[in-house]
Structure 1
Amino acid sequence: MDTQLNEEDKTTLLQWIGVEAPLSLLYKMSRDGCNPWTFHTKCDCKGPTITVMYNGNNTVYGGYTSQNWNSSSNGYFAWDQRAFLFKLRYNGKSVAKKYPIKADKCGYAIYCRNNYGPSFGESHDLPYFEKDISASNGVYQLNRCNYGNDSTTYIMGGDEEEAIYNNEASVRDLEYCQELKEYVQNFCPYEKTSVDKAKILLLGEVGSGKSSFFNTVNSIFAGFVTFQAISGSAQKSLTNTFRTYHIRDGKAGKMLNFKLCDTKGLEKEGGIDPHDFLYILDGNMPDKHMLNPDLPLSPETQGFVKSPSAKDKIHLVAIVIDATIVDVMTEESIETIKSFQKKLYQRGMISL
């Protein structure tokens, strides 16, 4: 059996995830060994990833998570509403079936522990390994799923649980692929703009996770968990300065060709001042400027950039929204975001 994804399989997976980016192979069991330590060394803190398994029944299946894998000594379940299981081939025939996570099971999407390989679901909904396993005639015998009375964490759509992996827990190979990191690593601004690094402003309500988003992106490329930006849960914005963060590819690697900018959150009182927001967009506000709603930035402020170049200006605004409260956002919150979007459109800018 061919133990690699064909182009049709890759296209199907990327359509399910909703991205157009090449897949990058991080870990391959037949090459790197069936060992939890090796798996975590190669795969922790890498962001969204795809796990693909190939068994002796010519069945190809696996799971996707948008969350990081981590080497926790105590073990924990990670929350992920975007996670899903999938089956691409069954007895050698193309089947392409996706199994989304149940709405009330998002808190059990994946299980992270230092002596486990990749594990999906509250009851290990796919075969998994929790120790070193040697191949026998090219086959690795993994642990079977343990559904018990709780069934699966994922919506089976009428299929039996074992139908995903064709009732065969042994695998000939397991691959762990990254769907976006390499694409971002190779990003370059359009050369005719004379901009060497794109500046992306993170905008959102207090508590939406702007600073946490930066910390996550920074951790993915650093290869370890970082907390460079102040983040947490509070009634008022924890970010009180305008910051421009560079992203380094690896501990001693080069700087990537984009920067993430963080500022105060949107709130009724004490949030980012609309005039300060325009100065940020236009490149007038210096890095590390202290944001004070009672003393907005002006051309007389020390450090004010009076003649900003294209490199100083914001090139894209990413609106960050807490997905857990999007259905209950107030009309006032929505109108506040729209009012700031309007200022972007007036400058011919776009937001994501």
Structure 2
Amino acid sequence: MKQKKEHLNLIKEWINDNEFFSKIKLGFSAKRDGFDSKIFHEKCDNQGKTLVIIKSKDNYICGGYTKVGWIEGKDYIYIADPDAFIFTIKNPKNYSPQKIPIKKENPDKSLYYVSNYGPTFGNGIDLGINTSNMNQGRSVYFGYWYVLPEGIKYGTEESNNFFAGHGGTWPIEEIECFLN
């Protein structure tokens, strides 16, 4: 329990928005609501600020935050949010928890909206769920639009496996989306 509280405190520090946390509610839980992108969009589209926490079946924890959120619209569109970031809390290489910002030159590619995808950060899917049954995470192109941690090169096994291993795709145990 202590570890979860430490993780939450770190995420609160990264987001730095007391109002968000004072009104936070669990808008979507894959275990509770089903691993279905349609349900994710019904519950989370057009809700504004969104914190996404993903737990892999190997107990790795990652996610992302957006002030803008997923805006229902045409499929295959990008949503700009210069304040969006993705993060790792627990990962295969035991990197320390890290907040990973969008590249300053690419804030227009912060989020990717596709009605049959789950929450997806970055074009090329730096971190996201690109299946309608939302049972598989993907980070095959981590570093395409989001800043790679120092010492990690784009397109390498290390970048692809950064969040949860398995060659950039990995089985998901839970996805939670918090809204306010």
Do both share a fold (TM > 0.5)?
yes
The corresponding residue for 2:138 is 144
Equivalent pairs, count? 167
Query: Which runs of structure 2 are paired with 1:234-313 in the superposition (5 Å)?
Result: none
2: CA distance, partners of 1:11 / 1:173: 20
1: CA distance, partners of 2:119 / 2:58: 21
2: CA distance, partners of 1:90 / 1:146: 15
TM-score by length of 1: 0.44
Report which of the two has the higher share of strand.
Answer: 2
**Any conservation in 1 of the 2:56–2:173 contact (CA below 8 Å)?**
yes
TM-superposed deviation, 1:156:
1.3
2: CA distance, partners of 1:164 / 1:108: 20
Structure 1 unmatched ranges of 5 or more: 134-139, 182-352
Matched, 1:14 2:15: no
2: CA distance, partners of 1:50 / 1:126: 13
TM-superposed deviation, 1:128:
1.0
The corresponding residue for 2:155 is none
Q: Deviations over 1:300-342 (max 9, x none)?
A: xxxxxxxxxxxxxxxxxxxxxxxxxxxxxxxxxxxxxxxxxxx
- Root-mean-square deviation (CA), in Å? 2.4
1: CA distance, partners of 2:137 / 2:62: 16
TM-superposed deviation, 1:80:
0.9
Matched, 1:164 2:166: no
TM-superposed deviation, 1:94:
8.3
1: CA distance, partners of 2:26 / 2:93: 23
TM-superposed deviation, 1:129:
3.0
TM-superposed deviation, 1:93:
6.1
Matched, 1:38 2:39: yes
**Any conservation in 1 of the 2:46–2:72 contact (CA below 8 Å)?**
no
Query: Which runs of structure 2 are paired with 1:32-71 in the superposition (5 Å)?
Result: 32-71=33-72
1: CA distance, partners of 2:93 / 2:143: 27
Q: Deviations over 1:27-67 (max 9, x none)?
A: 01111111111001111111111111101222100111111
TM-superposed deviation, 1:143:
5.4
Query: Which runs of structure 2 are paired with 1:34-183 in the superposition (5 Å)?
Result: 34-91=35-92, 95-132=96-133, 140=135, 142=136, 144-147=138-141, 151-158=143-150, 159=152, 160-161=158-159, 162-167=161-166, 169-178=170-179, 181=180
Q: Secondary structure at the match of 2:99?
A: strand
TM-score by length of 2: 0.82
Change (3 A) 1:54 1:92: farther
Change (3 A) 1:101 1:92: closer
Change (3 A) 1:151 1:87: closer
**Any conservation in 2 of the 1:79–1:106 contact (CA below 8 Å)?**
yes
Kindly report structure 1 stretches of 4+ aligned residues shifted beyond 3 Å: 91-94, 143-146
Change (3 A) 1:90 1:68: closer
**Any conservation in 2 of the 1:87–1:98 contact (CA below 8 Å)?**
yes
